[in-house]
Chains A and B, each alone.
Chain A
């Protein structure tokens, strides 16, 4: 008898002829998430099985699996022989201690002498004999004991099915570049896009010495937390100090942020194209701050040709916070390091920047030169 983790996947079955590809990427992601833990990964009919891991690390295996996109549900259970006594040895380990229960059997091996109803009845009887305080309830049981009789004289026994994160295997939807700040929103945006199968590469803009290293460390920590889902373990940082100084010196104060964002998008697109990424991702939410108005987004979009995905565009702040808490990035996001110095914050930022006015202000700057200069400050941080 061996402790195993059973993994069922979501949506992949929808993918018709591409199914093989999706399954390969999924398996690769499962392997990456289990890095550092000895294990074997097996494919069985319509599911994966993690086996041969140290038994005391079962919880850790389950926890890591639970965060892999594409996992619909998972169970920690036992791989046992298919003789009734062997099956029951496993059942004893997963059966409830009190309350109502039922036994649900799936018989993949159709030549097994008993049919699934008979196996369930037999095991139900043995469970009751072992613990007479339990009661059978086939309609609304408090607990279910699952038995899965397979070919080759083996069976799986488990006591619960826990929901995974769902979504699509990361990597099956291409690659994108997330503009990650130290705030609450961008990590959630990255999570949501990774959930739809996107490889989410990370780009952070800083303006040292106007911002401090604490802000950068915070972003590294957020990226590390995100990597649990996205499996991306590096981050690129770019300094926009020079750009901020130039804008501050030469352009109308109320357009500071609008102009800076346009630079950020330009830089991001250059990096994305170079790295083979097909889209930009931001944590913008419509109307949340002065720069996240429709006009603001239009002005940023105007300088790039890649699509800009904004998965949070229709989310309220409360909803974003709730998600950030759920994925575990919230506490780091609210640490008190700011990603923009107050010295560059205009008192009244333009909420509806006019294209003509933007063009007029931008004409005062050497846009190409500043972008090239900023790209030279790129640093890759692996974590």
Chain B
């Protein structure tokens, strides 16, 4: 199987998993226990915490709360950060942010969505126009999960703070962490990440938070994570996250350059063979990990199943059903129906090889052709 749906999830890194599993099995004590064993596990968690945090931020200025998922991290940032008034997000947010923003309405906060451009990145001027003195939170996805477009969150955060210094700035960094270079600036208050997008395990995420910012917990209980997130720590997931990140960040630049090469290779192959039939959606300046295209007039979901049966796994931005047929984000990008119908998301991991990229490109081209001939 050529696995090119890495934006959905990645294969767990075997070395990181073996290392974490061994340590978690040996250190089975409750991290809250007040004896040697508990202390040792707690120490391991804190080493993992520091190790993850320092990859993208200065541990002196930021702290990291482990959560059960990227979605949970987003929810904690949004429901903890938004106050009475309004909150602004881009129209290109993942459902984890978008649905939570819609829920804010029921809690007395007016949600506002800033339009996106054709590549899925937010229009900075339009975003700033929505920010006013009653804005309490702005949330902008770092890397758009459907198109790979990168938002310059440092610049956006700075501009937002200049307009309203009391407003919090959050970014969903799930598709960015370990994949595109970032150093959190003081204007970025909150940043969500997830383990399983970089070779970690499903069920572990984290919310990185500016030190000194008081954020109420989403989950109350035994007071773990300094009271910010109760529940006995997922020791295996946390250690594994740190080891997977260690590996991922070591080759971040080299992987990015290589995968960007594959991305362009696939695109130029598809462009040459299919002409205008396969249209590029991902921007070239976007994440090298995501190539979103549309085989105009086809059905992405059907193509994905045909490709799966041929041994190629890709994602899709559309559904065959008549309800919720089109991607909300890509609709917001302004594409016509025929383009929305045919969306495929090809997403890479460092394990992707050039041979796989070439084989996938050919399979995609042939599958699109077969579909067009039949339908």
Contacts and interface: CB of A to CB of B under 8 A. Distances in A.
Contact of B321 (A209, A248, A337): A337
Nearest to B374: A245
Interface residues of A, number: 16
A212 B374 contact: no
B375 interface: yes
Contact of A338 (B305, B306, B321, B374): B321
Interface in B293-337: 299, 301-302, 305-306, 309, 320-325
Contacts of B323: 336
Nearest to B324: A336
A245 B375 CA distance: 6
A341 B374 contact: no
Contacts of B299: 210, 341-343
Contacts of B309: 209
Interface in A33-76: none
B310 to A, nearest CB: 10
Nearest to A337: B321
A248 B321 CA distance: 18
B339 to A, nearest CB: 15
Given A209-B302, A342-B299, A342-B325, A249 B374 contact: yes
A338 B318 CA distance: 14
B201 to A, nearest CB: 25
A343 B321 CA distance: 10
B321 A210 contact: no
Contacts of B306: 209
Interface in B28-75: none
Interface of B is mostly: loop
A208 B305 contact: yes
A248 B373 CA distance: 11
B305 A343 contact: no
A210 B306 CA distance: 9
Contact of A212 (B320, B324, B325): B320
B302 A343 contact: yes
A337 B301 CA distance: 12
A211 interface: yes
Nearest to B321: A338
Contacts of A248: 374-375
A249 B375 CA distance: 7
A13 B375 CA distance: 57
A61 to B, nearest CB: 41
Contacts of B320: 210-212, 338, 341-343
A216 to B, nearest CB: 12
Contacts of B325: 342
B302 A210 contact: yes
Most buried by A among B322, B323, B324: B322
Contacts of A212: 301, 305, 320
A343 B375 contact: yes
A348 B174 CA distance: 43
Interface residues of B, number: 14
A209 B375 CA distance: 12
B301 to A, nearest CB: 7
Contacts of A336: 321, 323-324
Contacts of A249: 374
B322 A342 contact: yes
A341 B299 CA distance: 9
Contacts of B374: 245, 248-249
Nearest to B299: A343
Q: Interface centre among B302, B322, B325, by most A CB within 10 Å?
A: B302
Interface string A232-262: 0000000000000100110000000000000
Nearest to B298: A343
A77 B323 CA distance: 50
Contacts of A343: 299, 302, 320, 375
User: Which of A208, A209, A249 is most buried by chain B, counting CB atoms within 10 A of its CB?
Assistant: A209
Interface in B65-108: none
Nearest to A208: B305
A199 B324 CA distance: 38
A18 B299 CA distance: 57
A343 B320 CA distance: 8
Interface string B252-288: 0000000000000000000000000000000000000
Interface string A334-373: 0011100111110000000000000000000000000000
Chain B CB count within 10 A is highest, among A212, A245, A337, A342, for: A342
A307 to B, nearest CB: 33
A342 B322 CA distance: 6
Interface string A200-241: 000000001111100000000000000000000000000000
Contacts of B302: 209-210, 341, 343
A248 B375 CA distance: 7
Nearest to B301: A212
Contacts of A208: 305
Nearest to A344: B375
B322 A209 contact: no
Contacts of A211: 320
Contacts of A337: 321
B208 to A, nearest CB: 35
A341 B305 CA distance: 13
B298 to A, nearest CB: 8
Nearest to A345: B322
A342 B321 contact: yes
A298 to B, nearest CB: 27
A32 B23 CA distance: 52
A342 B324 CA distance: 12
A181 to B, nearest CB: 14
B63 to A, nearest CB: 40
A210 to B, nearest CB: 5
Contacts of B305: 208-209, 212
A248 to B, nearest CB: 6
B205 to A, nearest CB: 26
Interface of A: 208-212, 245, 248-249, 336-338, 341-345
Given A248-B374, A336-B324, A342-B322, 10 more contacts: A208-B305, A210-B320, A211-B320, A245-B374, A248-B375, A336-B323, A342-B325, A343-B320, A343-B375, A345-B322
25 contacts: A208-B305, A209-B302, A209-B305, A209-B306, A209-B309, A210-B320, A211-B320, A212-B305, A245-B374, A245-B375, A248-B375, A249-B374, A336-B321, A336-B323, A338-B320, A338-B321, A338-B322, A341-B299, A341-B302, A342-B320, A342-B322, A342-B325, A343-B375, A344-B375, A345-B322
Report the 6 A-B pairs with minimum CB-CB distance, sorted nearest first.
A209-B305, A338-B321, A341-B320, A245-B374, A209-B306, A343-B299
